Amino acid sequence: MTTTPQAVRRASPRTRRPATPVAPDPTAGLLPQTAPVRLLDPDGTPLPPRADLPAPPVETLREMYRRMVVGRRFDAQATALTKQGRLAVYPSSRGQEACQVGAVLALRDDDWVFPTYRESMALTARGIDPVEVLTLLRGDWHCGYDPTVVHTAPQCTPLATQCVHAAGLAYGESYQGRDTVALAFIGDGATSEGDFHEGLNFAAVFKAPVVYFVQNNKYAISVPLSRQTAAPSLAYKGVGYGVPSEQVDGNDPVAVLAVLTRAVAHARAGHGPYLVEAHTYRMEAHTNADDASRYRDPDEVEAWRDRDPVARLEAYLRSRGELDDAAVAQIAAEAEAYAADLRDRMHAQPTVDPLSLFEHVYAEPTPQLVEQREMVRAELAADAEGDA
Ligand X SMILES: Cc1ncc(C[n+]2csc(CCOP(=O)(O)OP(=O)(O)O)c2C)c(N)n1
Catalytic residue numbers, as ranges: 282, 286, 295
14 binds a copy of itself (CB under 8 A): yes
User: What track of x and - describes contact with a copy of itself for positions 281 through 320 (by CB under 8 A)?
Assistant: ----------------------------------------
Task: Count interface residues toward another protein (CB under 8 A).
Answer: 76
Query: CB 226 → ligand X: shortest distance, Å?
Result: 13
Distance CA 182, CA 113 (A): 6
Residue from 31, 24, 6 nearest 274 by CA: 31
Distance CA 368, CA 46 (A): 64
Q: Which does 294 bind (CB under 5 to 8 A by kind): ligand X, Mg ion, another protein, none?
A: another protein
Q: How far is CA 259 from CA 161, 246, 283, in A?
A: 24, 8, 23
Query: CB 83 → another protein: shortest distance, Å?
Result: 16
Q: Which of 77, 135, 152, 201 binds a copy of itself (CB under 8 A)?
A: 201
Distance CA 281, CA 200 (A): 24
User: Is 44:319 a contact under the CB 8 Å cutoff?
Assistant: yes
Nearer to ligand X, 56 or 199 (CB): 199
Nearer to a copy of itself, 22 or 326 (CB): 22
| Cα 185 from chain centroid (whole Å) | 4
Residue from 100, 112, 109 nearest 67 by CA: 100
Q: Which residues are at the interface with ligand X (CB under 6 A)? A: 118, 157-159, 187-190, 217, 219-221, 282, 286
319 binds another protein (CB under 8 A): no
Rg (alpha carbons) of the chain, rounded to whole number: 23
Distance CA 161, CA 194 (A): 9
Pick the piece of the chain touching another protein (CB under 8 A) from 25-33, 118-126, 171-179, 299-307.
171-179
Site for Mg ion, residues 195 to 224, rule: CB under 5 A? 217, 220
238 binds a copy of itself (CB under 8 A): yes
Task: List phi, psi (to 5°) of 266.
Answer: -60, -50
Report the residue closest to ligand X, judged by CB.
Answer: 187
199 binds another protein (CB under 8 A): yes
| Cα 163 from chain centroid (whole Å) | 12
Q: Which does 190 bind (CB under 5 to 8 A by kind): Mg ion, ligand X, a copy of itself, none?
A: ligand X
The answer for residues whose C-beta is within 8 angstroms of residue 129's C-beta and 6 or more apart is: 144, 145
Residues in touch with Mg ion (CB under 5 A): 187-189, 217, 220
